[in-house]
Chains A and B, each alone.
Chain A
Amino acid sequence: MKQNRGEGLGVIFFYCCFSWLTESATLSLVHLDIPDAIHDSWFTIIEFAVISYFTWSSLRSRRLKYIPIIGAIIFYPIAIINFTKEQGSFDTVPASMEAIFIITYCILLLYEQINNPEVLFVYNTKKFWVTIAFFIYFSSTLFLFLYARSFTASEYHKYWTINNFFEILKNILLSVSFIIKKMSKDPYPHNLSSDI
């Protein structure tokens, strides 16, 4: 906990807890006959908020900070309309939109990280691992979300393994971000440059 302080990972920790709680609730409340799509829609809306906030707080450039705000302005009306109108089926449109927006955010975050002179090796930063966790997860599940609505029940269960597999991978990468050591403030350690 101590080594993650001040790294902006609080929101990611909240995301992990929320994700775990949603999964647990879906499994334990299965007898209440609430459609999976409702959980998924709620989860998509909150997940997008969390990742947008993470992106907004991680971006340094003022101009780039507008992008997650504009993304949220576009995403939320569509997600809410979709949630109120089509409650019984998978939220293909918001989920795909979310995936596309988050892929864009990840590219922006990576772009900022490689341009940051304080970062010597980009993979030594916690935010890099968080970014690639979301990047890999959302780019791998984009096509799954796009086709999810047209699946039959058997196809849904068959193809959903893709989501499960990349969710595990995402959680592993997020764990790496929590575990790795905090980056030193000195971007150029003394052993890298010889003394005169």
Chain B
Amino acid sequence: MIILDVTSGSTVSLVLFFGTIGMLALTIGLIVFIIFHQRKVIRYQLRLQRMEQDQQKLLLNASIRLQEEERQRIAADLHDDAGPLLATARLYLNENLVNLDKTTQLQSIYNAKQIIDDTIQLIRNISHSLMPPTLKNFGLESAVNDLFQKISGSGSMNASSRFHDYRERLQAENELIIFRVIQELVNNILKHSNASFIHLTQNTSGNKFFIRLHHDGRGITQTDFNKLNKSNVGLGLKNIQSRLKVLHGQIFFEKDMSQTYYKVTIELVKEEATVPEPGP
């Protein structure tokens, strides 16, 4: 009926017909747009979530692989170094049972003692590489200074560190994580950068804790770091990233304003160490 009226040309019918159809089309269009837009947003969010999960998987795999590598290294140290040393000491001691000559006995005991001393030193080194005693007893500042002194002492590179505001120690487990991150960064600089110096500075600003590393060798920028983090290579960097994730920290790789140095900044939210209550 209405359509017939429209074809007959009545003005009211025309306005009513096209007005109603237009409004209806607009409404339905808007509803369809909302539904499709929302679906698009949800798909995008899910894609982001999946990407984040993939990234976490990569970090987890990297940390598992590193753990395995560390175990293999310790196993190799024990098997290849401590094992033969102890076997040799056992041989010297066995000789005592067979050889009754006093001088030879003394000589073999002395040799066995030397070997056992070497083994003790070796085990101490392994133990220190697992958990540096300086870090445990004197904190991050001393451990980092110690590490940098050793690097400098080797003569291969000039390494220095300066802690500007570290009167209150961080929690022990956080110190260990930061130390491992610094160790990994320094290892990377030593291995890949061909730098002649490394300089580390520590600072705080508000409740933020900063550690900055400068070096004059070949380095990476944030873009390279992000790329490496998404790829299957760069195990050490993924390890750094996963360690910092535990502390809700961030790391930035950049080139200095003068384009001469590379700068690595670690940024953390400060949580001071809880003072242990005295025992009974």
- Cβ contact within 8 Å between B42 and A147: no
Those of A66-94 within 8 Å (CB) of chain B: none
A192 to B37, CA, bound (A): 18
A79 to chain B, nearest CB (A): 22
With contacts A114-B34, A123-B35, A136-B24 taken as known, whether A159 is within 8 angstroms of B2 at the C-beta atoms is yes
A123 to B38, CA, bound (A): 10
**Chain A residue at smallest Cβ distance from B57:** A196
- Cβ contact within 8 Å between B12 and A147: yes
Indicate if A162 sits at the interface (CB-CB under 8 A): yes
Indicate if B90 sits at the interface (CB-CB under 8 A): no
Residues of chain B having any CB pair with chain A under 8 Å: 1-2, 5, 12, 15-16, 19-20, 23-24, 26-28, 30-31, 34-35, 37-39, 41-42, 46, 49-50, 53, 56-57, 60
- Cβ contact within 8 Å between A147 and B15: yes
For the A-B complex with A114-B37, A147-B15 known, give 20 more contacts whose Cβ atoms are closer than 8 Å. A107-B30, A121-B38, A121-B42, A122-B35, A136-B31, A139-B26, A140-B27, A142-B19, A142-B23, A143-B16, A144-B20, A147-B12, A151-B12, A158-B2, A158-B5, A159-B2, A159-B16, A161-B1, A193-B46, A196-B56
Complex A-B: 29 CB contacts under 8 Å: A110-B34, A114-B34, A114-B38, A114-B41, A120-B42, A122-B35, A132-B31, A135-B30, A136-B24, A139-B27, A140-B20, A140-B27, A141-B20, A142-B19, A143-B16, A143-B20, A143-B23, A147-B12, A150-B12, A151-B12, A158-B2, A158-B5, A161-B1, A162-B16, A193-B46, A193-B49, A193-B50, A193-B53, A196-B53
**Which A residues touch B46, using CB under 8 A?**
192-193
Main secondary structure of the interface of A (DSSP, over half): helix
**Chain B residue at smallest Cβ distance from A150:** B12
B58 to chain A, nearest CB (A): 11
- Cβ contact within 8 Å between B12 and A194: no
**Which B residues touch A193, using CB under 8 A?**
46, 49-50, 53
Those of A128-163 within 8 Å (CB) of chain B: 132, 135-136, 139-144, 146-147, 150-151, 155, 158-159, 161-162
Main secondary structure of the interface of B (DSSP, over half): helix
Interface string of A164-196 (1 = CB under 8 A from B): 000000000000000000000000000011101
A192 to B45, CA, bound (A): 11
